[in-house]
Amino acid sequence: MLSLVYTITEDKGATVMKIIKVQDQTMGGKAGFAQFDAALKQGASTFGLATGSTPITIYEEIVASDLDFSEKTSINLDEYVGLSGDDVQSYAYFMHEHLFNAKPFAQSYVPNGLAEDADAEVKRYEEIIDANPIDLQLLGLGQNGHIGFNEPGTSFNETTHKVTLTQSTIDANARFFEDENDVPRYAYSMGIASIMKSKNILLVAYGEAKAAAVAAMIEGPVTEDMPASVLQNHANVTVIVDEAAASKLSDQVEFSEI
C-alpha cells in the first residue's frame, strides 16, 4: 500500500489530503475499513454512508469484522424519489443488504423516497444532519466529478435538495428495471454544503474512467464545474485510489511507502 500527504496551499492557509494508492478494490476495501476502525477508536458517533459498487468492499470488510455500530448513527447521502425503502433498487434496500442486516446502527437515516412534500423532506433531512454532525463521510466519485447526486454546476452552497437526474444517469439505470418508465427521474441528495460539514471525509475511486476526475479533484482549480474539487477546501480528506484511477496525477504527486 502506498500513501502521500499532499498539501495544497491557498491564501487562507493549507489544506491537507492524505492519498492512499492501492492495488485493487480488495485492497481498497481494507484501506477503507482501516479508516472506519480508526474513527470508531477515536470516538466517532455518526457515519455518512454511500451506495454503489465503490464502497462494497469496504462494507464487506466491516461485515467480516468485530466492529460494533449498535450505538452509532448513520446518515446516507441520497435516495431515489419514488422508490420505497423495500424496493430492491432503492438505496435503503442496498444498505440493508450490504451492511445494516449484519451491522445494525442505533439510528439509520436515508431520505424518504415516497415523501409527499419534497420541500419538507429536504428540510427534514438537513435538520437530521445538523442534529447529528457527521464524523466520517464516505464518498464515491463520478466520472464527471460529481459527489452524491451533485452534478457539475451545482452550487457549493447547496444543502440537501431534490435533484433532476441527468439523462445519462437515467439511461445507465435503465438496465435495472423491466420497464423504462419505472426508472427514477429524481433523487434526494445531500448538497455539497451538507457534505462539507463533515469532520472527516473519505473519498474512494477506482478505474481508469475515474482518472481524469481524480486529477481534477486533487490538482485542478476549485470550481463548481468539478464538484469534487471543493474537497480542496476541507481540512481532513483521505482519498483511496487504485493505480488506474491515479494514472493522471502529475509527477508532483509522489507516493511514498507506508
- 45-68 pLDDT, tens digit each: 999 999 999 999 999 999 999 999
The per-residue pLDDT for range 69-97, each reduced to its tens digit, is 999 999 999 999 999 999 999 999 999 99
The per-residue pLDDT for range 177-234, each reduced to its tens digit, is 888 888 899 999 999 999 999 999 999 999 999 999 999 999 999 999 999 999 999 9
pLDDT on residue 258? 43
The predicted model gives 117-139 an average pLDDT of: 98
Looking at the chain, the whole-number percentage of residues with pLDDT higher than 70 is 92
CB 156 within 8 Å of CB 230? yes
pLDDT on residue 100? 98
What's the rounded Cα separation, in Å, for the pair 26 and 43?
26
In the set 79, 98, 146, 150, the catalytic residue is: 146
Domain ranges of the chain: 4-257
pLDDT on residue 118? 98
pLDDT on residue 13? 47
Split at pLDDT 50, 70, 90, the class of 170 is confident
Q: Is 151 a catalytic residue?
A: yes
What's the rounded Cα separation, in Å, for the pair 224 and 243?
26
Report whether pLDDT(5) > 90.
Answer: no
Q: Model pTM?
A: 0.93
**Helices assigned H by DSSP within the chain:** 25-41, 56-63, 91-95, 118-131, 167-173, 192-196, 211-219
User: Residue 237: enclosing H or E segment and its boundaries?
Assistant: strand 237-242
CB 137 within 8 Å of CB 200? yes
Cell of 196: 462539507
SS3 258: coil
Split at pLDDT 50, 70, 90, the class of 2 is low
pLDDT on residue 7? 54
For helices 25-41 and 56-63, angle between their N-to-C axes, nearest 10 degrees: 60
Q: Is 144 a catalytic residue?
A: yes
In the set 87, 112, 144, 219, the catalytic residue is: 144
Q: Is 173 a catalytic residue?
A: no
Sheet with 186-189, side-by-side order of all strands: 78-80, 186-189, 161-164
**pLDDT, the chain, mean:** 92
In the set 60, 61, 78, 158, the catalytic residue is: 78
In the set 61, 79, 126, 151, the catalytic residue is: 151
Fold of 4-257: Rossmann fold (3.40.50)
What's the rounded Cα separation, in Å, for the pair 134 and 26?
26
